[in-house]
Amino acid sequence: MTESTVFPDTQPQVFPDVWVHRNALGLEIGSEVPTGIPSNALAAFFAAVQVTWEIRETLWMLVLRDFKGRYRAQALGLFWSLAHPLVMMVTTTIAFDYVLRVQIPYFPVFYLVGAIYWQFFTNAILAATGAMTDNGGLIKHTTFPRFLFPIAAVLSHLIHFGMELLLVFAFFFVFPDAYRFNFTLVALPLLVFLILLISIGVGLMVSVLHAKYRDLYYVVTSLITVGFWGTPILYSTAMAPAWLRPLLRLNPVGGVIEGARDIMMNGKWPNLEYLLPAFVTGVVVFVVGCLVFRKENLRVSDYV
Amino acid sequence: MTNVAIRASDVGKHFYRVHEKPMLLREAAMLFSGRRRRVDDLWAVRHVTFDLHEGETLGVLGPNGSGKSTLLTVVAGTAYPNEGTISTRGRISTLLSLGAGFHPDMTGEENIITSAGLLGIPVEEARRRMTSIVEFAELESVIDTQIRHYSSGMMARLGFAIAIHVSPNILVIDEVFAVGDIAFQTKCLDALRELKSRGITILFASQAPLMVAEFCSRALWLEGGTTKMLANATEVAEAYQVAMTGRTIGEEVAEALSHAV
């Protein structure tokens, strides 16, 4: 064969001295002779973080693909996604503020702050549920790290959430008295980070389990309906009877919402009384999500 | 210091025949009743052992359903073995199916960037290799078109062009370029030969003993998921051809030629 010009890199390939061993228990990275014991979870976690950073551009492309894909062939795609919370805001305000006469000041803003966090959480979880099954081709046929599929699904809804958050800020011009903006706003990204952590944790777990148990989709949608009423969206935890409050505070999404309201509507730092339980459950959910993913990931390509 | 690139030690992989997609309730009920029906596991691959050195090319032959594709997914790392260990060294590029990872709504160019990214190439590097990939696939005229308008042959070209342009140490190919036209097939084989000469290790599943004999250094004949023969490529290809058709490769070629006259 004549000398080819097709390849940009003409150096001979150098094989690294790092061995990757795969057995029934999992993945082990090390020297030539395997020990038979997979690399420990913590090492795997940091390796995953490193990989994510290395291929962040590809992750971003996946996020954009998911995001754009949602509005494919829709003339007013983005408009609808912002119109939905607005329609809900008007409807719930009529029902709760005017008909049921709930004693909550600035109910439209109160509701909207809670609703956008809840919407982000549920949309992210639903998208993550299908992340493995929808990307079946890639999962079966490429070596791309799979944990990035549910994460990309979650992140694509974070873009959405960002726009909805701007919408909440824009309502300052309609209800200026509902807001107290001050330096506590610097804590807002922390709450976003917390809900992102929770969403990724749950997302990792449901994505792999859904590959194996397709019924999970119905379980998830049912739990979301239950979760809506178990989360302080239409009420605040303070309104609940004292015995119920500790239970409600186990819901990390609720803690995030209460915190966001305190920051945006009261100009107060989030209260540790609800933020601490939210943070603890959030971290637990994340760790459990990672561990379930690590276990089920070994078999996921058999099921998609 | 060894120069083994892929080592399969007693690799086995099975699928569950009964509940391929088990249901939550049924599985839960079985857990409670204490009987888990794992008896009729289907072993797609079992007791496969080989060492493949840097720069070697292993052809995998076998009839449909003999476990070729399963073995390839285990080597590539998309599936984990249920038994034994598969050990690899270096970056693996895969071409396991047509158009896997292509997004129908994105253009050819966008798909090159994404697919290369999925195979571990940063965006900037993928852009630098763009011309060379498009040129190799001979798709200059349609590269700005959405993939959904491509023919299957065009997708195969693009997939192959990307897979060989991501600087792999190990290349795993599952008889996918058979879809391309004859000129492109020749081009693919030439490209693979060049990769081989640069020390890339290739694992190559095929239905064509002639191609394996011509291109591979060694070959593995799978039957029912287990190794029937593992030896040098010509030997295995010849034996496989005889077992399948009752004729040697030479007779087969002569026969084809005689019909052509």
Q: Is a pLDDT exceeding 90 seen at residue A156?
A: yes
Across B47-62, average pLDDT: 93
Q: Which residues in chain A have their CB less than 8 angstroms from residue B18's CB?
A: none
Say if residues B86 and B120 touch (Cβ distance below 8 Å).
no
What is the reported pLDDT for B33? 62
The rounded mean pLDDT for chain B is: 85
What is the reported pLDDT for B37? 53
Across B38-54, average pLDDT: 84
What is the reported pLDDT for A84? 86
Cα A32 from Cα A95, distance rounded (Å): 67
Q: How far is A23 from chain B (nearest CA, A)?
A: 5
> What is the band of B232 on the pLDDT scale with cuts at 50, 70, 90?
very high
Q: Do B80 and A16 touch (CB under 8 A)?
A: no
Q: How far is B175 from chain A (nearest CA, A)?
A: 13
State pLDDT tens for residues A115-124. Answer: 999 999 999 9
Across B98-121, average pLDDT: 82
Q: Is a pLDDT exceeding 60 seen at residue A173?
A: yes
What is the reported pLDDT for A17? 82
DSSP string across A159-224: HHHHHHHHHHHHGGGT-GGG---SGGGGGHHHHHHHHHHHHHHHHHHHHHHHHH-TTHHHHHHHHH
What is the reported pLDDT for B26? 64
Q: Which residues in chain A have their CB less than 8 angstroms from residue B79's CB?
A: 301-302
Mutual orientation of helices A148-170 and A107-129 as an angle, nearest 10°?
Answer: 170
ipTM entry = 0.82
Q: Would residue B52 be called left, alpha or beta, if left means φ above 0 and alpha means ψ between -120 and 50 degrees? A: beta
Q: Which of residues 189-228 of A touch B (CB under 8 A)?
A: 212-216, 219
Q: Is a pLDDT exceeding 70 seen at residue A189?
A: yes
State pLDDT tens for residues B70-88. Answer: 999 999 988 899 999 999 9
3-state secondary structure of B175: coil
Across B9-27, average pLDDT: 70
Say if residues A40 and B76 touch (Cβ distance below 8 Å).
no
Share of chain A above pLDDT 90, in %: 54
> What is the band of B177 on the pLDDT scale with cuts at 50, 70, 90?
low
Q: Is a pLDDT exceeding 50 seen at residue A186?
A: yes
Q: Is a pLDDT exceeding 80 seen at residue B99?
A: no
Contact status of B52 with chain A (Cβ, < 8 Å): no
CA dist B129 → B100, B173, B186 (Å): 20, 21, 22
What is the reported pLDDT for B261? 67
Across B134-142, average pLDDT: 91
CA angle B75, B91, B10 (to 5 degrees): 25
CA dist A256 → A141, A251, A297 (Å): 39, 9, 30
What is the reported pLDDT for B1? 44
State pLDDT tens for residues A261-289. Answer: 999 999 999 989 899 999 999 999 999 99
Q: Which of residues 89-108 of B touch A (CB under 8 A)?
A: 89-90, 92, 94, 96-97, 99-101, 103, 105-106
3-state secondary structure of B232: strand
The rounded mean pLDDT for chain A is: 88
Cα A35 from Cα A29, distance rounded (Å): 10
What is the reported pLDDT for A103? 84
What is the reported pLDDT for A304? 78
Which of B88, B101, B164 is nearest residue A141 as measured by Cβ atoms? B101
Cα B71 from Cα A250, distance rounded (Å): 46
Across B156-163, average pLDDT: 88
